[in-house]
C-alpha cells in the first residue's frame, strides 16, 4: 500500500505540473487579448464542463494531461472572420513568443518554489556532522568484509559498541581534541593508535559524557577503526541561503538533464541489461520509471523527511527537464513554434532591408512532415523507455 501511495502522489503531482503548464499558455493568451475557447483537464469524452464568458472549462474521462485551445494558433487553423483580430496569429511576435514560453516558465517556477520549500520547510540533508547514525556490532575480519558490512568471522565487538556509544550521540572531541564535522572525526579515528584507550566526549540528550574507546584495526584497511556510521541531519535554511541553494540546484539539475540526454544514444543498448542501474541507462527513464522510484521512496519508510525530500526532488527534476525539453526548437514542441516566430521576424527584417513587404506567417503545411517525424520519434522513444521501466526497472536499493 505504501508503494501505491507513492505512485498516486506522483501521478497527482505530475497532473498538477501539466495543468500549470497549460495555465501558463492560457493566462498569457488572455492577458494579450487572444481568444481562448477551452481549458480542459484530461482527454477523451467530457464528463463535466461549464462555460464562463467565452471559455469552456471542464474535465475529461482520461486524466492524463490538460490542454488549452487558443483561436488561430497557426495559419492552419480555421477561424471565424469575426474572431480573426483576436487570433493568436494576428498578434505581435513578442506576444506570441511569451505565450509559447509561458508553459516552460511555469515548470521552472514550480521547480524553483519546490526547491525553496525543500530548503526552508523540510531541510537539506547534511551528513558531515559528528552525530552518530549507526554503531557496528563487530570488527570486520577483512577490508572486503568491511566494505560489505559483514560480521562473518569477525574479530570481536566494535570498539564504539564496547564503549557504550549509541546512535544519536554526537562526538565533540576524541583523545582531547575537538572535532566539528565527520571528515575531522574520521581523520582523528584513523590517526589513533590501535589498542590504546582514549577518551571520547559525546553529547547525549543534552548531557556531556566521557566514554573510553579502544580503537581496533581491520586487516587490509589503513588506519584505526571505531565502528560508527554517520547520521544524515536535515537542517533548515534561511530564505537567503534557500534562494542560493535553489539557484544552484536548479542549474545542477538542468546540466544533469542535458548530460543524460546527450548520453541517451549510449544508454539505449543497456536499457534491458541486467546491470542497467550501473550503466548510463540507469539515468534515463520514462514516467513509468519515475512513478516506480516514487513508490519505492515511500515504501522505504526512511522517515518523513527522507520520503518528502525524495518525492520533491523527483517532481522538481521532471519539471526542469520538461521545461527545457519543451524549449527545444523542434515542432510540435513549444520551442519549435518559438523558432518559427524567430524565423518569421528575421525574414521580415531582411525583407524590410531589401524594401520588400513582410512575407507574413510561415506556411506550416510544409513543416507537417518534420513535425510528424519528431512526434513519431518522441513517441517511439517514450514507448521504448516505458518498456524498459516495466520489464527491467531501476531499483533504489541495489
Q: Which long-range contacts (CB under 8 A, 24 or more apart) does 300-303 make?
A: 300/396, 300/397, 301/2
253/322 Cα distance (integer angstroms): 12
Per the document, the length of the chain is 398
Round to whole Å and give the CA distance between 222 and 217: 8
Quick one: CA dihedral 168, 169, 170, 171, positive or negative? Answer: negative
Q: How far apart are CA 174 and CA 195, in angstroms?
A: 15
Cell of 300: 522505504
CA-angle at 214, arms to 212 and 216, nearest 5°: 155
Question: Is 20 within 8 Å of 39 (Cβ atoms)?
Answer: no
CA distance 104 to 107: 5
Distance CA(313)–CA(345), nearest Å, equals 39
Alpha-carbon distance of 80 to 92, in angstroms, equals: 20
Residue 78 among the catalytic residues: no
Select which of 22, 56, 78, 266 is catalytic: 22
CB-count burial class (<10 Å; 0-12, 13-18, 19+) for 354: exposed
What nine digits make up the cell of 143?
577490508
Q: How many Å apart are CA 51 and CA 66, to the nearest integer?
A: 17
Q: Alpha-carbon distance 212 to 215, whole Å? A: 10
Distance of alpha carbon 5 from the chain centroid: 19
- Distances from the Cα of 176 to the Cα of 216, 224, 267, 291, angstroms: 19, 17, 52, 50
Cα–Cα distance measured from residue 190 to residue 198, given in angstroms and rounded to the nearest whole number: 13
Instruction: Please choose, from the candidates 129, 114, 392, 154, the residue with its C-alpha nearest in 3D space to the C-alpha of residue 278.
Output: 392
Please give the helix or strand (H or E) that residue 37 lies within, else none.
strand 36-52
Active-site residue set: 22
Amino acid at each position: 500500500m505504501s508503494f501505491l501511495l507513492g505512485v498516486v502522489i506522483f501521478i497527482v503531482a505530475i497532473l498538477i505540473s501539466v495543468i500549470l503548464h497549460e495555465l501558463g499558455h492560457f493566462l498569457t493568451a488572455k492577458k494579450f487579448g487572444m481568444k481562448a475557447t477551452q481549458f480542459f483537464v484530461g482527454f477523451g469524452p467530457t464528463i463535466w464542463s461549464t462555460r464562463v464568458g467565452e471559455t469552456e472549462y471542464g474535465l475529461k474521462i482520461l486524466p492524463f494531461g490538460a490542454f488549452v485551445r487558443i483561436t488561430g494558433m497557426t495559419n492552419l487553423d480555421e477561424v471565424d472572420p469575426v474572431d480573426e483580430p483576436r487570433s493568436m496569429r494576428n498578434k505581435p511576435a513578442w506576444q506570441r513568443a511569451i505565450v509559447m514560453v509561458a508553459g516552460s516558465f511555469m515548470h521552472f517556477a514550480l521547480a524553483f518554489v519546490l526547491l525553496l520549500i525543500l530548503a526552508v520547510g523540510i531541510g537539506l540533508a547534511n551528513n558531515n556532522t559528528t552525530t552518530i547514525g549507526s554503531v557496528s556490532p563487530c570488527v570486520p575480519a577483512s577490508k572486503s568484509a568491511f566494505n560489505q558490512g559483514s560480521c562473518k568471522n569477525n574479530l570481536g565487538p566494535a570498539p564504539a559498541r564496547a564503549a557504550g556509544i549509541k546512535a544519536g550521540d554526537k562526538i565533540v572531541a576524541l583523545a582531547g581534541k575537538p572535532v566539528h564535522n565527520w571528515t575531522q572525526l574520521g581523520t582523528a579515528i584513523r590517526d589513533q593508535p590501535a589498542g590504546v584507550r582514549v577518551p571520547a566526549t559525546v553529547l547525549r540528550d543534552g548531557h556531556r559524557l566521557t566514554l573510553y574507546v579502544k580503537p581496533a584495526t581491520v586487516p587490509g584497511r589503513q588506519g584505526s577503526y571505531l565502528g560508527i556510521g554517520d547520521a544524515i541531519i536535515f537542517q533548515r535554511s534561511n530564505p537567503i541561503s534557500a534562494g542560493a541553494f535553489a539557484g544552484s540546484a536548479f542549474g545542477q539539475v538542468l546540466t544533469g538533464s542535458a548530460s543524460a540526454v546527450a548520453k541517451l544514444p549510449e544508454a539505449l543498448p543497456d536499457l534491458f541489461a541486467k546491470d542497467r542501474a550501473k550503466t548510463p541507462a540507469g539515468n534515463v527513464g520514462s514516467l513509468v520509471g519515475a512513478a516506480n522510484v516514487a513508490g519505492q521512496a515511500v515504501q522505504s519508510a526512511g522517515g518523513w523527511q527522507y520520503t518528502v525530500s525524495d518525492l520533491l526532488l523527483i517532481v522538481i527534476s521532471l519539471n526542469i527537464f520538461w521545461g527545457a525539453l519543451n524549449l527545444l526548437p523542434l515542432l510540435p514542441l513549444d520551442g519549435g513554434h518559438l523558432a518559427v516566430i524567430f524565423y518569421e521576424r528575421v525574414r521580415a527584417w531582411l525583407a524590410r532591408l531589401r524594401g520588400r513587404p513582410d512575407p507574413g506567417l510561415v506556411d506550416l503545411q510544409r513543416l507537417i512532415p518534420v513535425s510528424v517525424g519528431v512526434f513519431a520519434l518522441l513517441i517511439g522513444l517514450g514507448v521504448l523507455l516505458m518498456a524498459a521501466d516495466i520489464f527491467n526497472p531501476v531499483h533504489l536499493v541495489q
